[in-house]
Amino acid sequence: MTAFATIGLIGRLDNERARYSMERLITFLQSRQLDFTLESQTAAVLGSDAAVGAARQVAELDSLGRHCDLVIVVGGDGSLLGAARALTSYGVPLLGVNRGRLGFLTDITPEDIEEKVGEVLDGHYLEESRFLLNMEVRRGGRLMGRGDALNDVVMHPGEFIHMLEFELSIDGHFVTSQCADGMIVSTPTGSTAYALSGGGPIMHPKLDAIGLVPMNPHTLSSRPMVIDGNSEIKITVGQSRGSKAMVTCDGQIHVESRTGDEIFIHKKPQKLTLIHPLNHNFYERCRTKLGWGGHLLD
């Protein structure tokens, strides 16, 4: 008996390899006589193929959580990030098949689809909880924009490169004022993404912590910080010589801010459940994806 009865399928099918992997996955689910629901844009790319006709139904991304008890994402980490933001509130777990470049989150290789997905469906898998960040931009107390992020919330100059002035407060306590290209506020999940490129620390996914990584700060004493995961972060946008600062969630949601705006960031109450094959190992992922050295005696 399978551990999951109804499967949701999401795919970024912008190339033939990704489309082939999705079709292969659908064929495998059919061989197991499992119901599956296609996300609407995925179905549109597949067109009128037999795969679409075999689907139990086609649903919008944000409603998949009402129809499925597992969602499989075929694509890169960006595809899984988008699915996570849309589906976390439903509590539906996500499983990733990697058709992107790095694949920190989508950890089943295309060659292993039948074997590894089959193991998951048979109940042989690891379950991991990840938290997201909630971001709000407020102007004079009025909400101007909001977003969620599994990886990071980034304040940056936007289209034009220039220094930003801002103040950082944590849990109501003033921390520092800075001139920098911006600030990366990262979850442990995002610590191996943009924050890592910015010189931030790698955090194990099980940590209840948030990383703060200043981007090219105009002082040698400015360093990344790791704070408690339940902290309330406030960034107050300072003078920026007429230019606007942008606030981005996972590189996919963009909110414009102005001088005097307050950016509030805190942990989202609902958590994401990621499903991994039994052989998943965070440190092995770091070795293979980041090019770390292997055993000296091998």
Catalytic machinery residues: 77
Locate 51 and state its tokens.
């795969």
Cα of 143 vs its chain's centroid, Å = 24
Beta bridge mates, 249 = 153, 253
Question: In this structure, are residues 76 and 101 in contact, taking their beta carbons and an 8 Å threshold?
Answer: yes
Instruction: Please state the φ and ψ torsions of residue 112, each to the nearest 5 degrees.
Output: -105, 15
The residues near 36 (Cβ < 8 Å, ≥ 6 apart) are 6, 7, 8, 9, 26, 29, 54, 55, 56
Handedness of CA 235, 204, 77, 271 (dihedral sign): negative
Q: State the DSSP code for 63.
A: G
Locate 137 and state its tokens.
């931009």
